[in-house]
Structure 1
Amino acid sequence: MKVKIAYIEEPPFGWTESDQTATGADVDLADTVLRAIGVTQIEHHLTTFSELLSGVEADRWDMNVPLFVTPERANQVAFSLPVWATGDGFLVRAGNPKTLKSYALLAERRDARLGIIAGQVQHESARASGVSEDQIVIFEQQADAIKAVRSGAIDAYASTALGNRVLADRIGDSMLEAVEHVPEKNGKPHSPSGAFSFNKSSGDLLNAVNRQLRLYLGSPDHRARMANFGLTHKEIDPVVVR
């Protein structure tokens, strides 16, 4: 049994090593679950975020690494059980010179520019909090957004708080720092869930993956593997089914 899974360059969730092998928290989880259900061949396909949904929908591959679950996306693809939960954050220049700690605060700074990867949920979250389109710069690749933060072309790059935290640590660049969003006024911290996605006709594969996820998520082996990539109980506990 062979399964082709698409991933993107977005540490700590997925990236390509120097020897061209795929790794990362999401890739590791996918491989572990797929092997447990009897998959003997796993092919990793590098793509861009904007191609994930259309690619699996068109059967160019069998499943995607996890992405945030939304009603709009659920109209296109079938989602597995959630495998992690995390809120948003910014990657900014060291010292956070414009004090950008939430989308709403960034919206108040009309001179602030925000980088977002095409198709990601952070675009809608930013707009919902008042960030205008002329403050938003769209990128296809995370690496390009990081370069733009470094150069000052943008003031912040929006992604998951977890991803930015691990990314800043991994880069080890004194020019950059990760900022976890503070709750909006009268708001509570919100940690949406991410899940694998499949073509809607892939019921057998989806059901097998879900059965294994129910057994595996939150287990000692799962927690230890995810810890290698910076995921903690904060991201895992909200999705554990017991």
Structure 2
Amino acid sequence: MKVTIAYIEEPPFGWTESNQPTGADLDLAEVILRAIGVTHIEHHLTTFSELLPGVEAGRWDMNVPLFVTPERASRVAFSSPVWAIGDGFLVRAGNPKALNSYALLAERHDARLGIIAGQVQHQSARMSGVREDQIVIFEQQSDAIAALRSGTIDAYASTAVGNRVVAGRIGGSVLEAVEHDIVENGKQPLPAGAFSFNKNAGDLLKAVNEQLRLYLGSPDHRTRMSKFGITRREIDPVLVV
């Protein structure tokens, strides 16, 4: 049995290292797919904007996890959630414009925000008052980070976990990660992410979900994810009690 999974360059979830795909989401997919009897796993590197169209058209079998939204769920079939992660900014060291939320960035008319095309951070920013002329859209994370380092943008919006990893790799003297403090009714809501499939891939989706229910939250799962900076905070909210 062969399954092709598409991924994008977005550490710690997925990236290419020494010509080999790696990352938290790909590691999880490997464990789950092997457990359901998949003997050959093929990885397909693509862009974020192509993830949904690609799996919809059957160019590959599944996508690495992305945030679940009603609009996306109308196009693809999502697995059970595998993590829940809040947003954050990547900014230049020292955070020269003191940006720590979408609302604060919206108040700074001289602030520019970088976002990857099609990601949920675009809607989150707009709902918080960020104007469209403050937003710069990129196709690849590497392009957004290059623009941030050059001063073309003042912040790059992505997951808080991903930003921590990128800042750590590049170095705190260059970039730093700023996590958003979002509190709603005394709780901190964290959007959930899940693998996605063609709506006709019912058997594969069912098998994946059954194995996810058995595996998520296990000691092996937690140990594997911790290597990529995915902790109890991101795992526990999606566990089925």
TM-score class, shorter: over 0.9
Shift of 1:190: 2.2
Q: What is the CA-CA distance between 1:186 and the residue it aligns to?
A: 7.6
Q: Count residues with an aligned counterpart.
A: 241
Q: Secondary structure at the match of 2:88?
A: strand
- Does structure 1 conserve the Cα–Cα contact (< 8 Å) formed by 2:183 and 2:189? no
- Residue equivalent to 1:115: 114
Cross-structure match for 2:31:
32
CA drift of 1:166 comes to: 1.4
Query: What are the residue-to-residue correspondences of 1:222-237 with 2, within 5 Å?
Result: 222-237=221-236
Distance 2:91 2:184 in 1: 22
Give the secondary structure class of the aligned counterpart of 2:80: strand
Q: Which residue is equivalent to 2:5?
A: 5
Equivalent residue of 1:82, what SS? coil
Decide whether the 8 Å contact of 1:116 with 1:136 is kept in 2: yes
Moved more, 163-172 or 204-213: 163-172
**Aligned alpha-carbon RMSD (Å):** 1.2
Task: List gaps (5 residues or longer) in structure 2.
Answer: none
Structure 2 residue 46 is the aligned partner of structure 1 residue 47? yes
Do residues 14 (structure 1) and 26 (structure 2) align? no
- After superposition, the C-alpha distances for 1:128-178 in whole angstroms (9 at most, x for unaligned) are 000000000000000000011111000000000111011111222511000
Cα pair 1:104 1:184 within 8 Å, conserved? no
Residue equivalent to 1:164: 163
DSSP-derived class of the 1:168 partner: helix
Q: Normalised by the size of structure 2, how large is the TM-score? A: 0.98
* Conserved? CA contact 2:113–2:153, under 8 Å: yes
Cα distance in 1, alignment partners of residues 206 and 17 from structure 2? 31
Counterparts of residues 1-242 of structure 1 (less than 5 Å): 1-18=1-18, 20-183=19-182, 188-242=187-241
**Counterpart Cα distance in 2 of 1:209 and 1:198:** 11
SS at match of 2:188: coil
Task: Give, in whole Å, the separation in 2 of the partners of 1:223 and 1:56.
Answer: 28
Name which of structure 1's ranges 222-231 and 188-197 shifts more when overlaid on structure 2: 188-197
Give the TM-score, by structure 1 length.
Answer: 0.97
Q: State the shift of 1:182 in Å.
A: 2.1
Deviations along 1:10-55, whole A, 9 cap, x unmatched? Answer: 000000012x110000000001100000000000000000000000
Instruction: Give the Cα–Cα distance (whole angstroms) in 2 for the partners of residues 10 and 174 of structure 1.
Output: 21
Aligned equivalents of 1:200, 1:71: Cα separation in 2: 14
Write the distance in 1 (CA, Å) between the matches of 2:188 and 2:101.
11
Deviation at 1:87, TM superposition (A): 0.5
Q: Specify the SS of the correspondent of 1:66.
A: strand
Equivalents in 2 of 1:108, 1:237: separation in Å?
34
In the TM superposition, residue 223 of structure 1 has moved relative to its aligned partner by 0.2
